[in-house]
Structure 1
Amino acid sequence: MNLRCVDCDALFPASMMYHCSHCGGILEVVGLGTGTCGEGNERVSAQPTMWRYGSRLPVEDLSYAVSLGEGITPIHAANRLADSFEFEGRLLLKDEAVNPTGSFKDRMLSVAVSRAKELGFEKVVCASSGNAGASAAAYAAKAGMEAVILAPVHTPREKLTQIAAYGPEVRLVEGHYSNSYRIAQQLSKEFGYANMTTTYINPYAVEALKTVGYELYEQLEGWIPDYVFVPVGAGPLLKGIYRGFTEAREVVGILHGDVEKHKDARIPKLIAVQAEGCAPVVKAYESGLDKVSAWGEPYTIASGISDPLIGYEQDGTHTLQFVKASQGFAISVSDDEILQAMRALAVLEGVFAEPTAACSVAAVKKALQAGAIPQSCSVVCMITAHGFKDFKIYQDMEREHRKCIFPSYPHRPF
């Protein structure tokens, strides 16, 4: 296992590095195994978690694996939701909200904390808009490691409450998420914290997201959807799905002992979804640019993707490359469209999603209305986090749409 720069192809030992020392480029993990579990690590690989793909994860000794049961999340057929869009195709929801702390970030932090522990680190730091902070704090607690979480002052209280419950040191930072990102870098450099921030900065965390692609391929029995709609801040989830589908036929074929059966595969078109109030990737895509520029001050209820990429614009550029490589596109949705999607998910499909998670559904509806995707296609929406993460949004909606369920009786009938 090594680290490779995506820009200059320089190779490095698999230490806790965050950028290429030659050109400053993004690092990714290369040279992992081809099996389905590490030799002698049956304890981990036997669990119904993403660690069943153990040898494809960047932890050399799986006895260091820190797991709370992440991955192998369900897929829901969203027929009623599709009918509400007058959509004639197949609509599926990949429900990452059922992960241990309620978001897909658990995949990233399980691997990143495991690798940090394997390399001898005893303390971690994470810049977060909420979900990654909860994951980092939970997995650090499980591993017996110290954790410092840096979050913007406007982070939803529900997310801060969950983070604090795991016992880390929580520091609130003025301004947008990029300020928290910068301070996490400083703490990592000056005090030796392993940086768990879930942009592209930690290559081990990013590598974990391939398991989403593996699972989709395996759960759908090799059937490939036409489109996967992915909420995007910096965008590592989109890259993970791309790489997961690239490797899936081999991984799943080996897992089931039938490589020939799984010899054919393709990459679905990957759709980067952002909020209109913070959409640097969408802006570059719509402008026909290959490079993403930083956004100004974000303004959106989708706090999980409210990332202006200030100082690490290359992350957005890297994500845009995978959008184009898959022949996908980028699309933004308004806060009103997000609210409508949140309500539709809950009322029609029983899925309770935070605003960021509902962006994927809002984008499908918008893309259909604009003719950007055909009526007869197949779509997977990534539901990235649970509605409890931002409960106040639902409380405000409930007050606006409150209905009297029971009439007023002089005596209770029960």
Structure 2
Amino acid sequence: MELRCVDCGRAHPPALLYDCPACGGILELRGDDGLPPVDLGQGETPLLRAPRLEASLPGFAGQIWLKDETRNPSGSFKDRLVGAALARAVALGARGVVCASSGNAGAATAAYAARAGVPAVIVVPAHTPPGKVTQIAAHGALLLLVEGHYSRAYDLARGLERHGFANLTTTFLNPWGVAALDAVGHEIGARIGVPDLVLIPTGSGPLVQGVARGLPGARLVAVQAEGCAPIVRAFEAGAEAVSAWGEPRTIASGISDPLIGYERDGTHTLRLVRASGGLAVAVSDAALRRAMQDLARLEGVYAEPTGASPLAALARLHGEGRLPAAARCVLLVTGHGFKDGKAYEEMPARTHRVADPGDLPAVARLCEAALAEA
């Protein structure tokens, strides 16, 4: 077992390392860690066929599958990384952990640190959705709110490494956590084999790597929001390297990562996408809202904007004629809708105030109208 740099190839012994001491490159875990993760029941999430979504795309004769990562204990795929990274941090003698987060990783770290009895500091942008902030605070972590974008929270968490905190930030920083995402690909393959496309919400990209390593042969689609799309911009320009984004402007808080100061994360993800023969696609906030509604109303899956982004991207590819008619597609639904309830509160809802519950005929007419619309 070793940590190996993806850039210079140099190997390093197991330790709390966050980048290559020789060149600053991204480190990957090679070999089997063998250490059980801190466990709250994460992983082995459902893979659900989505026939009503399939029928909603005119002319589509393929398959849509939803890898429902909202079923993890804290409501997102981040539980997989954090459980593994925290176990290794404790084994290597860390006295506390820190995590920079747009919300989901912070909630996971707070929950798993509580489970393990380890002090946790969570650093989030001050505009993080209240549902995510509330969840973090519920587990008793020290919560630091930073004005500005996610990369500022990232910088502060990196600084706290020097004060005895193991860094569980879920970019490519922690190789022990990132390695746990290979299981997502393994679980898909064990259920349905290798699909044609796997669509993945993408900030810096560890989940893209997890699917690439765990499901060789699948074409990967990195999905970003139009208001923060550094990887898509580089992909469309044919660039070899990703440059940082400016100020993110999107409702998809989970992928609003401008990569300022750690652009090589995006470049690594870009290489993985291209090596798979895949794509990088950006979607608008309007498309995200439509996808959230479709997931909830057609398939019963309640996803935050980031979790719905693969469906928005699939709809875009279909509309542009870039989705093969018979393709088998897996959409990674990465975060639960309770993470950002405000996004749903702003959508139209079918509600009717009943002034007289005793007027059964009038209420029945309303219900019959609902049946007729179904």
TM-score where L is the length of structure 1: 0.85
Q: What is the distance in 2 between the residues matched to 1:407 and 1:160?
A: 35
Tell me what 1:256 maps to.
none
Q: What is the distance in 2 between the residues matched to 1:390 and 1:287?
A: 32
- Superposition deviation, residue 185 in structure 1: 0.2
Q: How does 1:340-359 map to 2 (within 5 A)?
A: 340-359=290-309
- Superposition deviation, residue 101 in structure 1: 0.1
Tell me what 1:177 maps to.
150
Tell me what 2:77 maps to.
104
Q: What is the distance in 1 between the residues matched to 2:95 and 2:164?
A: 9
Does the residue aligned with 1:372 lie in a helix, a strand or coil? coil
Alpha carbons 2:195, 2:328 under 8 Å: kept: yes
Alpha carbons 2:220, 2:277 under 8 Å: kept: yes
Q: 1:147-195 CA distances to partner (integer Å, 9 max, x unpaired)? A: 0000000000000000000100000001000000000000012x01000
Alpha carbons 2:99, 2:121 under 8 Å: kept: yes
Q: How does 1:224-373 map to 2 (within 5 A)?
A: 224-246=194-216, 267-373=217-323
Tell me what 1:70 maps to.
42
Does the residue aligned with 1:391 lie in a helix, a strand or coil? helix
Q: Could you say if the C-alpha distance between residues 239 and 407 of structure 1 is closer, same or farther in structure 2, counting changes exceeding 3 Å?
A: same
**Paired residue type of 1:175:** G
Q: What is the distance in 2 between the residues matched to 1:133 and 1:61?
A: 22
- Superposition deviation, residue 407 in structure 1: 5.1
Q: What is the distance in 1 between the residues matched to 2:146 and 2:322?
A: 39
- Superposition deviation, residue 408 in structure 1: 3.6
Count of aligned pairs between the two proteins = 360
- Superposition deviation, residue 77 in structure 1: 0.7
**Paired residue type of 2:358:** H
Tell me what 1:384 maps to.
334
Q: Could you say if the C-alpha distance between residues 106 and 409 of structure 1 is closer, same or farther in structure 2, counting changes exceeding 3 Å?
A: same
**Paired residue type of 1:311:** G
- Superposition deviation, residue 403 in structure 1: 3.5
Q: What is the distance in 1 between the residues matched to 2:24 and 2:308?
A: 34
- Superposition deviation, residue 325 in structure 1: 0.7
Does the residue aligned with 1:92 lie in a helix, a strand or coil? strand
Q: What is the distance in 2 between the residues matched to 1:120 and 1:180?
A: 24
Q: 1:182-215 CA distances to partner (integer Å, 9 max, x unpaired)? A: 00000012x0100000000000110000000110
Q: 1:3-51 CA distances to partner (integer Å, 9 max, x unpaired)? A: 011100111111000011111100111132xxxxxxxxxxxxxxxxxxx
- Superposition deviation, residue 410 in structure 1: 6.8
TM-score where L is the length of structure 2: 0.94
Alpha carbons 2:86, 2:113 under 8 Å: kept: yes
Q: How does 1:189-204 map to 2 (within 5 A)?
A: 189=162, 191-204=163-176
> What is the aligned counterpart of 1:93 among 66, 69, 72?
66
Does the residue aligned with 1:379 lie in a helix, a strand or coil? strand
Tell me what 2:87 maps to.
114
Tell me what 1:157 maps to.
130
Alpha carbons 2:185, 2:215 under 8 Å: kept: yes
Tell me what 2:325 maps to.
375
- Superposition deviation, residue 372 in structure 1: 1.6
Q: 1:77-129 CA distances to partner (integer Å, 9 max, x unpaired)? A: 11101111222111100000000000000000000001111111120000000
Does the residue aligned with 2:323 lie in a helix, a strand or coil? coil
Does the residue aligned with 1:323 lie in a helix, a strand or coil? helix
Q: What is the distance in 2 between the residues matched to 1:411 and 1:90?
A: 46
Tell me what 2:28 maps to.
28
Unaligned runs of 5+ in 1: 33-57, 247-266
Does the residue aligned with 1:229 lie in a helix, a strand or coil? strand
> What is the aligned counterpart of 1:403 among 325, 331, 351?
351
- Superposition deviation, residue 411 in structure 1: 3.4
Does the residue aligned with 2:215 lie in a helix, a strand or coil? helix
Does the residue aligned with 1:290 lie in a helix, a strand or coil? coil
Shifted more, 367-376 versus 294-303: the winner is 367-376
Alpha carbons 2:35, 2:88 under 8 Å: kept: no
Tell me what 2:367 maps to.
none
Does the residue aligned with 1:204 lie in a helix, a strand or coil? helix
Q: 1:199-255 CA distances to partner (integer Å, 9 max, x unpaired)? A: 0000011000000011011122xx211000000000000111000124xxxxxxxxx
Q: Alignment RMSD, CA only?
A: 1.3
Alpha carbons 2:66, 2:332 under 8 Å: kept: yes
Q: What is the distance in 1 between the residues matched to 2:87 and 2:76?
A: 18
Q: What is the distance in 2 between the residues matched to 1:391 and 1:286?
A: 33
Q: 1:267-294 CA distances to partner (integer Å, 9 max, x unpaired)? A: 1100000000000000000000110000
Q: What is the distance in 2 between the residues matched to 1:99 and 1:315?
A: 25
